Amino acid sequence: MAVLCGEIIKELEKFAPKHLAEKWDNVGLTVGNPYKPVKKILVALDVIPAVIEEAIHIGADLIVTHHPMILFQNIKNIQTDTYLGKKIYDLIQNDISAYCAHTNLDIAFGGTNDTLAVLAGLEDVKILQQTSSEELKKIVVYVPKGYEEIVRQAMCDAGAGFIGNYSQCAFYTEGTGTFLPLEGTTPFLGKQGILEKVQEIRVETIVPESLLYTVLDAMKKAHVYEEPAYDIYTVEQKGKCYGIGRIGTLKQNMTFEQYSIFLKKQLSLDTIRLVGDKNKNIKTVALCTGSGVEFMEQAKNMGADVYLTGDIKFHEAQKALEMGICVADVTHYASEVIIVPILKKFLEQKAKQCYWELEIVQSNVNGQVFWHI
């Protein structure tokens, strides 16, 4: 079936929710109409002129990228004699939408940092720098005895009931509920004007605040009462933690030189800039995709032997030597272009699950701007 741009975005933002993005970031639909039908998507790292030309050539309706097209720029006009203006004009003229998931995709589980962690051979992976944690709510709903499982399952299917690595978590208490149906009601139990006493089950479960209304909608649809009685409580404990960067360990120790050769192969790099003793024993590895030098000290404090990131400058390399941590500059591009096939696969799976008539194409444009002799 045909799919609207907004429906695709909805699924992408389940993978990488917009609220995870850094405050300075500009994520989401940059150009386009969320109600436009989409038949073909081009997935790339950046919305650069070559990618726009590719999208026009293949007849793409939507470009999905990691990097934002508009970032740190205050747009006052759209003129074709400016670099950014020409890109926006070309997209609009050819009716192509542009969507990006940037730092929200860096932070999301299964996003850029987790993808790099897999390629870097890490085990026991943890967050390097926490950025947020989920606020939790407790939902309490009163259900006539015999229907509690239906309601509980509906709420859990909508995202409730997770505590750590456990799912379907709930608590039942049996008691007596009373209600008097007034004029205009259609009670599931009892009659208008007569006080009813019913054996009910109090069903309690936990839900992330971001899913609260989704879970409430599911509960109401599954509930047999036309006016379900429920309570919502704020709880002190926090839910799932999110953060930038990852840290983990190698299955087998190796020297920094050996590990760097491994990284070159994994990331298809011609060269790799290295800082530190090539004979240093490497066991614990920290990383941040893109340009993440600001987390180097955190990596050292968490016991990392080496830190992987991109865009390392001279004085930052000096600081690494002084701190006693090795650094591998795996380049901004190589550390993040790895997410493109992941996004393509995600969209293909969603298209299959949702029966969308949709073609997803991975860009053939090489966006690496540097070359070496």
- The pLDDT tens digits for 328-354 are 999 999 999 999 999 999 999 999 999
Cα 17 from Cα 72, distance rounded (Å): 21
Residues 21 and 161 placed together within one structural domain of the fold: no
**How confident is the model over 178-236, as pLDDT tens digits?**
999 999 999 999 999 999 999 999 999 999 998 999 999 999 999 999 999 999 999 99
Are 299 and 247 spatial neighbours (Cβ–Cβ below 8 Å)?
yes
Q: pLDDT higher for 75 or 283?
A: 283
With respect to residue 95, please indicate whether it lies within any of the assigned structural domains.
yes
pLDDT for 1 beyond 80:
no
Span 266-293, mean pLDDT? Answer: 97
When divided into structural domains, the chain yields a total of 3
Residues 211 and 224 placed together within one structural domain of the fold: yes
Residue 345: both structure tokens together: 């696969």
Q: pLDDT higher for 372 or 154?
A: 154
- pTM equals 0.87
The confidence score (pLDDT) of residue 72 equals: 76
The confidence score (pLDDT) of residue 371 equals: 87
Q: Is 59 left (phi over 0), alpha (psi -120 to 50) or beta?
A: left
Q: Which residues of 311-327 are buried (b: 16+ CB within 10 A; e: fewer)?
A: ebeeebbebbeebebbb
With respect to residue 368, please indicate whether it lies within any of the assigned structural domains.
no
Band (pLDDT 50/70/90 cuts) for residue 373 is: confident
Band (pLDDT 50/70/90 cuts) for residue 77 is: confident
Please report how the helices 5-15 and 339-354 are oriented relative to each other, as an axis angle in degrees rounded to 10: 120
Band (pLDDT 50/70/90 cuts) for residue 74 is: confident
Residues 126 and 261 placed together within one structural domain of the fold: yes
Residues 126 and 272 placed together within one structural domain of the fold: yes
The confidence score (pLDDT) of residue 206 equals: 97
The confidence score (pLDDT) of residue 372 equals: 84
Say which CATH number the domain at 325 has. Answer: 3.40.1390.30
Query: What is the extent of the structural domain holding 19?
Result: 3-107+337-362
Q: For the chain, first and last CA: distance in Å?
A: 50
Residues 100 and 229 placed together within one structural domain of the fold: no
With respect to residue 371, please indicate whether it lies within any of the assigned structural domains.
no
Band (pLDDT 50/70/90 cuts) for residue 70 is: confident
**How confident is the model over 136-182, as pLDDT tens digits?**
999 999 999 999 999 999 999 999 999 988 999 999 999 999 999 99
**How confident is the model over 305-319, as pLDDT tens digits?**
999 999 999 999 999
pLDDT for 282 beyond 90:
yes
With respect to residue 372, please indicate whether it lies within any of the assigned structural domains.
no
* Sequential DSSP letters for 26-84: --EEEES-TTSEESEEEEES---HHHHHHHHHHT-SEEEESS-SS-S-------TTSHH
With respect to residue 114, please indicate whether it lies within any of the assigned structural domains.
no
Residue 151 is inside which H or E element, if any? helix 148-157
Say which CATH number the domain at 225 has. Answer: 3.30.70.120
Instruction: Work out the mean pLDDT of the chain and round it to a whole number.
Output: 96
Residues 103 and 163 placed together within one structural domain of the fold: no
Span 46-74, mean pLDDT? Answer: 94
- Residue 359 pairs in a beta bridge with 40
Task: Say what percent of the chain tops pLDDT 90.
Answer: 94
Residue 246 is inside which H or E element, if any? strand 241-255
Task: Say what percent of the chain tops pLDDT 70.
Answer: 100
Please report how the helices 212-222 and 148-157 are oriented relative to each other, as an axis angle in degrees rounded to 10: 150
Residues 146 and 92 placed together within one structural domain of the fold: no
The confidence score (pLDDT) of residue 219 equals: 98
CA angle at 287 for the pair 350 and 333, rounded to the nearest 5°: 65
